[in-house]
Structure 1
Amino acid sequence: MKQFVFLIDTGNETREHKINATGMTDAVNRIKDIKNHLKKDDHSKLNIKFKGVIYENAY
């Protein structure tokens, strides 16, 4: 399992969001769900950037 790190910019603040997923496709589908949820909360400007991957056994 990997953690995919995304930066979510709502216009007011930029947050780092980590998603546990098996692959990039799974992570993108999950971030799309988060994006749709945030759009419901009246965030008209919403930018999402991929920051990187954190591997569990990286040492």
Structure 2
Amino acid sequence: MKHFVFLIDTGNETIEHKINASGMTDALNRIKDIQKNLKKEKHPQLKIKFKGVIYENA
């Protein structure tokens, strides 16, 4: 498994979020779900940046 690292900027703070996924498509689908949930929680202006990949057993 790989850990895909995203930076989520809510306007007030920047959070580093790691997602365990088998590939980039899976990671993007999960970050989109997180984005939808954060927008429901009164964070209308979100900026999400891809930071990198952490490989296990490397």
TM-score tier (shorter): over 0.9
Between the two proteins, the alignment pairs up a number of residues equal to 58
The aligned counterpart of 2:32 is 32
The aligned counterpart of 1:14 is 14
How far apart, in 2, do the equivalents of 1:29 and 1:10 lie? 19
Q: TM-score, normalised by structure 2?
A: 0.98
RMSD over aligned CA atoms reads: 0.4
Which structure 2 segments of 5+ residues have no match?
A: none
Percent identity for Structure 1 against Structure 2: 79
The aligned counterpart of 2:3 is 3
Q: TM-score, normalised by structure 1?
A: 0.97
Which structure 1 segments of 5+ residues have no match?
A: none
After TM superposition, give the deviation of residue 44 of structure 1 in Å.
1.3
After TM superposition, give the deviation of residue 57 of structure 1 in Å.
1.1
After TM superposition, give the deviation of residue 12 of structure 1 in Å.
0.1
